[in-house]
Amino acid sequence: MIRPIVIANARIIDPASNTDRRGALLIADGLIAGIAEGSPQGVPDDAELIDARGLVVAPGLIDMRVFTGEPGREYRETLASAGDAAAAGGVTSFVLMPDSQPAIDDGALVDYVLRRAAAKSKVNVLPAAALTKNLEGQDLTEYGLLKEAGAVALTDGRHSIQSSALLRAAFSYAANFDLPVLHHLADAGLVGEGVMNEGLFATALGLKGIPAEAETVPLARDLQLAALTGVRYHAALISTAGAAELMATARRRSDAVSCGVSINNLALNENDIGDYRTFFRLMPPLRAEADRQAMIEGLRSGSIDVIVSDHDPQDSEMKRQPFAEAANGAVGLETLLAVALRLVHSGDVDLITLLRAMTSRPAEILGLASGRLAIGAPADVIVFDPEFPWVVEEAALRSRSRNTAFEGARLTGAVMHTFVAGQAVFSHAAMLEGAS
Amino acid sequence: MAGVLGERGQASGSSGAAGDSPRHLLSIADLDAYKIVALLDRAEAMIPASRGEAKPEFSLAGKTQINLFFEPSTRTQGSFEIAGKRLGALVMNMSVRTSSVTKGETLVDTAATLNAMRPDVLVVRHGSSGAVKLLSQKVGCSVINAGDGAHEHPTQALLDALTIRRHKGRLAGLTVAICGDIANSRVARSNLLLLGALHVRTRVIAPRTMLPKGIELLASEVFTGMEQGLAGADVVMMLRLQHERAQGRMIPSVREFYRFYGLDADKLAHAKPNAIVMHPGPMNRGVEIDPAIADGPRSVITEQVEMGVAVRMAVLDWLVRGDLDMGSFA
């Protein structure tokens, strides 16, 4: 029998109910059992008491876009190492992209991932299954069987479906089983050999550019096909002002469409690439500052729904290359919240809006019971100090791959405790020292 | 350059290169106007020695220079080889055959291997922008960029500037038109940076498909027609067209390109009467330039090749001796 936990003296922020109040949280049997204003009354005798010291208590983060190397490339990342990184970053659930070897395109593989994750990962792993067989964009997978096996969504991960006819069929069939489709936006022809945002900076570096239209053209198509088919459509990542505008318009007509933004596109811009720094080679690419501002505005207005880490571990062999030959991607689970808090500290976004994009909105899109602090909800809870200063050190990251875009960055805000289903899965060293 | 490109976003810490590393010539963007002029002056002084008419100081005696070319080049590699040898260096040529799969691996691995041989100077050409910079971070010797992707070719820009200065007596105030595939040209980028730093009026002339975004901030003026673009130009600089790659994607055909952008007598007539014609080579006669112009009286193309040796001697001498700043206004 696990002892109940009381987290007292907390600033409890629950974006789902739009509340931000002082109080205490009671966790019992893996669920949130009580929320008290002020000092808690009727604390069970056997309860473990955690003094939050005025820090923020919030729902654990739900990260809708995480890649690992399991199965197939375990040297990059395993479900266990990703789980450790997630727990330290306050991410209590993540959607696992099907881009592994083999690709997760079969019910048996969804089942395998769920069993491995249950045995190895400290946090909840929510498998997204392939939209097409082997992510090849040719043939539909078995959406009904995949859903029965436990897939929470359908996606071709890093791949973007080029055929409009196939996409229409996929959307229709996904709507049939009420599974959301998370789609990556990349017009293959317009991306071409591009490796960074098209513009002056790419021109000066002599690198081929990726125009904004490589994102907006497929998004416009997707939104029309979503309206046609009634699918629950989620644009996995947007990065351009044009895409934010398209989403804002579409949202006025339908609640069934949503979109995400990578923390990288919120915090960084194309200039960060500097002298060909390949850890800033990402897809979608880091865009112009005006695009970054549009991402922030979209977050404020609600036309951008979720923030993801787009955690994509790549080993040094893939990154220590000339820029045009390096792989895309950066790890981000551990730094997600702290980097996102920059937007709060800079006054761009308020804290509850920021947290909503990483808790209740992804939960709504995926149909999860978590992502909120409500009685009876799973006790996936974090305690964080929004003012805790620290410096990102590549060597200290828990991921097996160290391709962070924030090496050496000074961040303000750190997770102090992470609970998954009422179990403590992470405590910050600063809290352990102070505990005595 | 930094000013044009603006501020970085909310980046993490800077890349933080150490200050005591060996000197490199990786890009014109790293040089200021004083350094450029000092290099041109030194190259000018090297001309007799580069021609074998005078005895050079063997400033590279006992030094090892490795020419590492990941892309084939007879002209540039030969020019660097002669320059090194005239200065007394032991010069070794390495041509690295690369398959697309192992390209990057070869680069970092080769860097480590070469570094163990303790060369004093590495001259590197690579097909990928930024690759030479990456390599320079992995070795302990001076590195010269002999062309990296579509990024830069700094010694080409220096030899072009020297050639222009010898013909026109100055650089500031001139108008130089650069014509052709700007988007894929490292020669264009290095020249725009160098000429811009020395207050030369730069023009680029190309069809819209060959004009990269933001070029209007790197060149003084942008034209899509040769007649307007060449009007009043002191120097006409043609670029090599990679027509196998460009055809069907950036231009429909060579004959249409030649009709509108190939340099012939009619188009050249719009430039100043004493305008000179340049080309970095190797030329496609009948593609970007009329053979009669290429081999005509206004062409200084062979002189460019000649200046190449002097410029590369000056650069090698500077990197090894490093006294460029002394005796100049730098």
- A260-304 pLDDT, tens per residue? 999 999 999 999 999 999 999 999 999 999 999 999 999 999 999
Region class of B207: left (phi > 0), else alpha (psi between -120 and 50), else beta = beta
The nearest CA of chain A is from the CA of B58 a distance in Å of: 35
Q: How far is CA A157 from the centre of its chain?
A: 13
Q: What percent of chain B has pLDDT over 70?
A: 88
Per the listing, tokens 């725009």 go with: B192
Q: What is the pLDDT of residue B328?
A: 45
The pLDDT value recorded for residue B242 is: 85
Interchain CB distance below 8 Å, A322 and B129: yes
Q: Is B225 helix (H, G, I), strand (E, B) or coil?
A: coil
**What letter does residue A65 receive in the DSSP assignment?**
E
Is residue B18 over pLDDT 90? Answer: no
Which of residues 39 through 68 in chain A touch B, CB cutoff 8 A?
Answer: none
Question: Which residue of chain A comes nearest to B185, CA vs CA?
Answer: A206
Q: Which of A204, A322, A409 sits opposite B107 (nearest CB)?
A: A322
Q: Which CATH superfamily is domain A5-57+378-386+406-432 in?
A: Urease, subunit C, domain 1 (2.30.40.10)
pLDDT band per the 50, 70, 90 thresholds, residue A100: very high
The backbone torsions φ and ψ at residue A311, rounded to the nearest 5 degrees and listed phi first, read -55, 115
Q: Check whether A205 has a pLDDT greater than 90.
A: yes
Phi, psi of A80, deg, nearest 5: -70, -50
**Pairwise CB contact (< 8 Å): B9 & A274:** no
Predicted confidence (pLDDT) at residue A358 exceeds the cutoff of 70: yes
Cβ B176 vs Cβ B202: under 8 Å: yes
Task: State the DSSP H helix or E strand holding residue B230, giving kind and residue range, or none if neither.
Answer: helix B226-230
Q: Do B11 and A272 touch (CB under 8 A)?
A: yes
Quick one: tokens of A139? 């043939």
B122 vs B120: CA distance, rounded Å: 7
The confidence score (pLDDT) of residue A123 equals 98
Q: E strands along chain B, which residues?
A: 64-69, 90-95, 121-126, 142-148, 175-179, 201-205, 221-223, 235-238, 276-278
Using 50, 70 and 90 to split pLDDT, how confident is the model at B2?
Answer: very low
The predicted model gives A137-159 an average pLDDT of 98
* A261 three-state secondary structure: strand
Stronger pLDDT, A249 or A434, i.e. the higher one: A249
List of chain B residues whose C-beta atoms are within 8 Å of the C-beta of residue A274: 8, 11, 14-15
Q: What are the residue ranges spanned by the domains of chain A?
A: 5-57+378-386+406-432, 60-366
CA–CA distance, A301 with A295 (Å, rounded to integer): 10
Residue the block writes with tokens 């340049």: B278
At residue B267, what are phi and psi to the nearest 5 degrees? -70, -40
Cα distance between residue B200 and residue B129, in whole Å: 26
Ranking A39-53, A396-410, B42-56 by mean pLDDT, the lowest is: A39-53
Residue A322 has pLDDT above 80, yes or no: yes
Residue A144: the pLDDT is 98
CB A65 within 8 A of CB A96: no
* Cβ neighbours of B130 in A, within 8 Å: 205-207, 275-276, 322-324
B30 burial via Cβ count (<10 Å: 0-12, 13-18, 19+): middle
Residue the block writes with tokens 């309860």: A47
Q: Residue A64: left (phi > 0), alpha (psi -120 to 50), or beta?
A: alpha
Q: Quick one: pLDDT band at residue A103, thresholds 50, 70, 90?
A: very high
Q: Is A50 helix (H, G, I), strand (E, B) or coil?
A: strand
Annotated catalytic sites of A, by residue? 310
Please tell me the total number of residues recorded for chain B in this structure: 330
Nearest-angstrom CA–CA distance, A219 and A225: 10
* Residue of B7, B12, B15, B250 to mutate when probing chain A, most A C-beta within 10 A: B12
CATH number attached to the domain at A60-366: 3.20.20.140
Nearest chain B residue to A392 by CA distance is B12
B162: helix, strand or coil: helix
- Map residue B204 onto helix, strand or coil: strand
Which pLDDT score, from 0 to 100, does residue B105 have? 58
d(CA A280, CA A271): 10
Q: Tell me the per-residue pLDDT of B237-284, one tens digit each, with 9 for 90 and over.
A: 999 998 877 777 899 999 999 999 999 999 999 999 999 999 999 999
**Closest-CA distance of chain A to residue B242, Å:** 16
Count of CB atoms within 10 A of residue B21's CB? Answer: 14
Instruction: Give the rounded percent of residues in chain A with a pLDDT score beyond 70.
Output: 99
CB A94 within 8 A of CB A124: yes
CA–CA separation, A82 vs B27, rounded Å?
Answer: 40
Strand partners, A8: A51
Residues of A in contact with B150 (CB under 8 A): 206-208
The yes-or-no verdict on residue A46 having pLDDT over 80 is yes
Q: pLDDT tens digit string along B69-106?
A: 988 888 999 999 999 999 999 999 987 765 444 555 56
Q: State the Cα torsion B239-B241-B246-B252 to the nearest 10°.
A: 100
pLDDT score recorded for residue A327: 95
Rg (CA), chain A: 21
